[in-house]
Amino acid sequence: MNKSVLVVDDSIMVRHQVRAALDPAGFDVIEAVDGADGLAKLAANSDICLILCDVNMPVMDGIEMITVVQNERRSAAAVVMLTTEGSPELIRQARQCGAKGWIVKPFNPAMLVGVVRKLAA
Amino acid sequence: MKAVLTSPRRPSEPRWSRLRDSLSEVARDCGPKLLEAYSIRAIPTCAPDNPAELVAVLRFRGPHFRGSVGIAASPALLRRSLKNVGIPEAELALVQDCLAELSNQLLGRMKNLWRDLGVGVEVQAAATVLHRGLTASMAGTPDAVFAVAHLDCSGETVTLWVDGILDPQFVAEPRECVGPFQVEGSVLFF
C-alpha cells in the first residue's frame, strides 16, 4: 500500500509539482489549499505519514496549522515546511512545533522525493 | 498570510455577488468618471491588439521599506514552463497561479537578501491580470527606488520589476549570514 503525503499550499502549481514528483515515486498525494483545509484533510485521512506545508497562506497559515496539530495531537505525521520563507524566527517556530525539516522553494523534485523517503515512516 | 476579508467567502452568497458586481462597476464606470474630473475624456474600449501578457503584482510592507514586485510573461511561455515541471495541460487559472507563485518566489529571494541588511517585510496576496501592451516604468519620488529587467526567454520576453519606498531615517545594518539553509532549493533537517 502506498504511503500518503499531505501537501498544504495555496498555489495550485506547487501542489501539482509536488504530485508530479511524488506520484511516480509511489506516494499517494492528498492536497489542501490552506491550513484549515489541511486540518480537515488530516482528520479525514488517518494514514497520512508526512505533511508538506507552506507558511504564507490565506485563512490559516502553516505555522498556525502545525501548532494546532502539535497542541491537539491531531497526527503523528512528520512535518516538513515547503516555503519561500527563510526567516530564522519562522524556522525556530516551526521547529518548536515539531517540524522535521525546512525546504526553501523552488524545490528540486529528486531532492523532495529523497526528503519524503527519509521522513515518511 | 492572514485573510483580511474572511466573509463572505462563498461565491454563491448574495453579498459576494454584489461585491463582485461592484468591482466590475469600479473598473467600467469609476475610471472614466475619475478621469473626467481631471478634464480627460475616457471611453471604454477594447484592449489594444498586442500579444496578451499575464502580470502578477505582489505588495510588500515593512517598518522601513514598502513597495511591490511585478512579473509579466506570456501565457504561452508560462504553459511551456508548467509542461517542464510535469503539468502538460494548464487552464488559464493554473497559468495565473503559476505567475503569482513565481512573483511570490521572486519576493522570497528578495526577502532573504534584504534580511541580511536588517530590512524585514510582510507580503500581501498577489494580484494577477491579463494585460495587453505593457510598458513598465515609473515616475519616482526622491525616496522611491525602481528597477526593471526585460529577459529574453527563447524569443519571448519576461519583464520583472520592483519598486519600493525606503524610510529616509533608516540606516541599514548588515547582518551576518545565518546559514546555507536560506538558499533556494536547499533543505534543512531539524
Whether B186 sits inside 8 A of A84 (CB atoms) is no
Whether B97 sits inside 8 A of A87 (CB atoms) is no
List Cβ neighbours of A77 (8 Å cut-off, separation of 6 or more).
A6, A42, A48, A49, A50, A51
Q: If you average pLDDT over residues B160-181, what whole number do you get?
A: 67
The predicted complex's ipTM stands at 0.82
B112 or B137: which carries more pLDDT confidence?
B112
Residue corresponding to grid cell 533543505: B187
pLDDT for A50-104, tens place per residue?
A: 999 999 999 999 999 999 999 888 888 999 999 998 888 899 999 999 999 999 9
B3 has a pLDDT exceeding 60:
no
Q: Report chain B residues touching chain A, CB-CB < 8 A.
A: 1-3, 6, 82, 85-87, 93-94, 97-98, 100-101, 104-105, 107-109, 111-112, 115, 120, 123, 125, 178, 181-190
Taking the Cβ of residue A93 and every Cβ of chain B, the question of whether any pair is shorter than 8 Å is answered with no
Q: Which of B122, B128, B129 is nearest to B2 (CA)?
A: B122
Whether A13 sits inside 8 A of B82 (CB atoms) is yes
Query: Structure pTM?
Result: 0.77
Q: In percent, how much of chain B has pLDDT > 70?
A: 69
Whether B1 sits inside 8 A of A115 (CB atoms) is no
Kindly report the number of other CB atoms within 10 A of residue B145's CB atom: 14
Q: Which of A37, A53, A84, A115 to mutate to test the interface with B (most CBs of B within 10 A)?
A: A84
CA B19 from chain centre, in angstroms, equals 22
Strand partners, B160: B71, B149
Whether A105 sits inside 8 A of B108 (CB atoms) is yes
The rounded mean pLDDT for chain B is 75
Question: What amino acid is encoded at B95 in this protein?
Answer: V
- C-alpha B119/C-alpha B112 separation (Å) is 9
Q: If you average pLDDT over residues B110-131, what whole number do you get?
A: 79
Contacts of B176 in chain A (CB under 8 A): none
ω into A106 cis (within 30 of 0): yes
A32 has a pLDDT exceeding 70:
yes
